[in-house]
Amino acid sequence: MKTNLLPHLQTFLVVARLRSFSAAARELGVTPAAVSQSVRQLEEQLRVVLFTRTTRSMALTEAGRRLLEGAGPGLGQALASLQEVSARPGEAVGRLKLTVPEVAVPFVITPVLPAFRERHPRVEVEVVSENRFVDIVADGYDAGVRLHEAIERDMVQVRLTEAFRFVVVGAPAYFERHGTPQKPEDLLRHECFTLRIPSSGGLYAWELERGKRNWRVPVRGGVVTNNRGLMLALVEQGLGLAYAVEPAVKEQLRDGRLMRVLEEYAPIVPGFFLYFPSRAQRSGPLRLFIEVAREFAARTP
């Protein structure tokens, strides 16, 4: 292989992450034709097809997926090392890309990021707030945040919060008009805001528990949304009930805008964790972010 493959490999990784030749061209500052030619040269050198392409979509082939999983983290670490060499002694440089569910941003990322940026101003941080499950390797992330039970077992996990509850909440005005549910089945007669599960397209059933018994209540309502801000705004106006992470509604509960119901059925989850592949542990920016996150978690009740 006489051709230098490194530039073509870098182009391939950007295309694979963005799933688009035109988007990759914009990020790299070149033309789509140049991106296509670079990928084609890499395929010719390797004697494999890396993408299946149609007029409407594109996807990685099995060979492309293996190259992404094998070369992506290693090349990322190599580029990070080159940046670190150019830094002044004690200065961290590089890039950190995180995927975080919307509900976790206010009390997991928002408090940590200012301290991290103050200490490491030359580390570029990209936080993508999304509620779908993400393949952090294939999608080019350094790490993600999820509830403990949703993390694959082969991932390294770092605790970010203590355990907390999921609670059913509503405005006092709503309960005055419609009454207070006393058992999980009562929720079927109430207006409940729910969300659609991205992977299946179905509506999320609220999960409740008491002792060894569990309920999955298929609640329904006139509004379906994955936007937590919109949902809570409607709930505060007395238009229905919500199923919420308790720390995310602590202010509304404290000042009386919202009330908990069915507390004896509120499930407890282990908390939010930062997760990443074991081979990514040597990422300098990720190690530094973990340090700051752990400091914050240690002093947060």
Walk me through the domains of the chain, giving residue ranges and CATH numbers: 6-73 (1.10.10.10), 87-162+271-298 (3.40.190.10), 164-269 (3.40.190.290)
Please report the pLDDT score of residue 14 as a whole number: 85
Is the pLDDT at 246 greater than 80? The verdict is: yes
Rounded to whole angstroms, the Cα distance separating 163 from 147 reads: 10
Residue 15: predicted pLDDT = 86
Band (235; pLDDT cuts 50, 70, 90): very high
pLDDT of residue 245: 93
3-state secondary structure of 273: strand
Q: What secondary structure letter does DSSP report for 150?
A: G
pLDDT tens across 36-81, in order?
Answer: 898 888 888 888 888 887 666 678 888 888 888 777 665 665 555 5
- What's the CA gap between 167 and 244, in Å, rounded? 5
The pLDDT mean for the chain works out to 85
Q: What percent of the chain has pLDDT over 90?
A: 39
Query: For the chain, how far is it from start to end, CA to CA, in angstroms?
Result: 57
Higher pLDDT, 26 or 199: 26
**pLDDT single digits (tens) 72-97:** 665 665 555 555 555 455 566 788 89
- The pLDDT, as a whole number, for residue 83 is 53
CA separation for the pair 179, 183 (Å, rounded): 12
Q: What is the pLDDT of residues 10-22, one digit of tens each?
A: 888 888 888 888 8
Q: Read off the pLDDT of residues 249-296 as tens digits, 9 standing for 90 and up.
A: 999 999 999 999 999 999 999 999 999 887 555 578 888 999 998 888
Alpha-carbon distance values, 229 to 74, 192, 224, 250 (Å): 39, 15, 13, 14
**Sequence-separated (6 or more) residues with CB below 8 Å from residue 277:** 73, 136, 137, 154, 155, 156
Q: Is the pLDDT of residue 1 over 50?
A: no
